[in-house]
Amino acid sequence: MLEITLRTLAVCGVALAVALAAGLPLGIALGRRSFPGRGVLVSLVNSGMGAPPVVVGLAVSMLLFRNGPLGFLGLLYTPEAMVAAQVLIALPLVVGITLAAVGALDENWELEVRTLGIPQWLRLWLLLREIRLGLLAAVIAALGSILSEVGAVQAVGGNLAGETRVLTTSILMYTQMGRFEMALALGAVLVGLTLVLAAALTVVQQGGRR
């Protein structure tokens, strides 16, 4: 059980890190700049926020099938494939919420920073500090969605014991096997994990507010 929990955390952790690394700059860019095609990108992101995970899983599987376009990578039924599917699920959430937080900034913020002659690196830090509430909301939403997601990881991971079995897929498996005591125990671990992580992030999010 510990091994499954740790694997869950590892897969979700990597996926979250990748989603944040790609999603934050994208969200900030979409929120601050205007360019042709921005509207299309924003609506794409917004619909991605509600994309059914199982369909994402199906799409990634088809890409990774041995005779699929990315089949040569041999990634199907590996943790890397699970990370890829989860990144696709989390990315729109990170981009969408970051974009909304940046958009809610005072329009004079940018001018203020420019007239004060604040160096570029510090501007980014100030911006992140400014949107930290939205930022942590994005982290909470992304982590929650990939931690509790089952369809996509099942499709691309295959729930292989010792390799790609995570909390959600094993809960599903034990339920189907009728071993409800195992399913319930793993379910409790998952819920506990979600609660603890969300609580920790909430403390960080609300910390600076007085």
- Please identify, using beta-carbon distances, which residue of 101 and 167 lies nearer to other proteins: 101
Q: Using only C-alpha atoms, what is the Rg of the chain? A: 19
Q: Tell me how far apart the terminal alpha carbons of the chain are, to the nearest angstrom.
A: 41
32 forms part of the interface with other proteins (CB under 8 A)? no
User: Residues 6, 38, 55, 114: which binds other proteins (CB under 8 A)?
Assistant: 114
Q: What is the DSSP string of 81-125?
A: HHHHHHHHHHHHHHHHHHHHHHHTS-THHHHHHHHTT--HHHHHH
What residues numbered 115-134 form the site for other proteins, per CB under 8 A?
A: 115-119, 122, 126, 129-130, 132
User: Residues 50, 108, 178, 181: which binds other proteins (CB under 8 A)?
Assistant: 108
**Nearest partner of 96 among 176, 19, 151, judged by Cα:** 19
46 forms part of the interface with other proteins (CB under 8 A)? no
109 forms part of the interface with other proteins (CB under 8 A)? yes
Residue with tokens 């160096």: 119
Shortest spacing between CB 131 and other proteins, in angstroms = 9
Shortest spacing between CB 106 and other proteins, in angstroms = 5
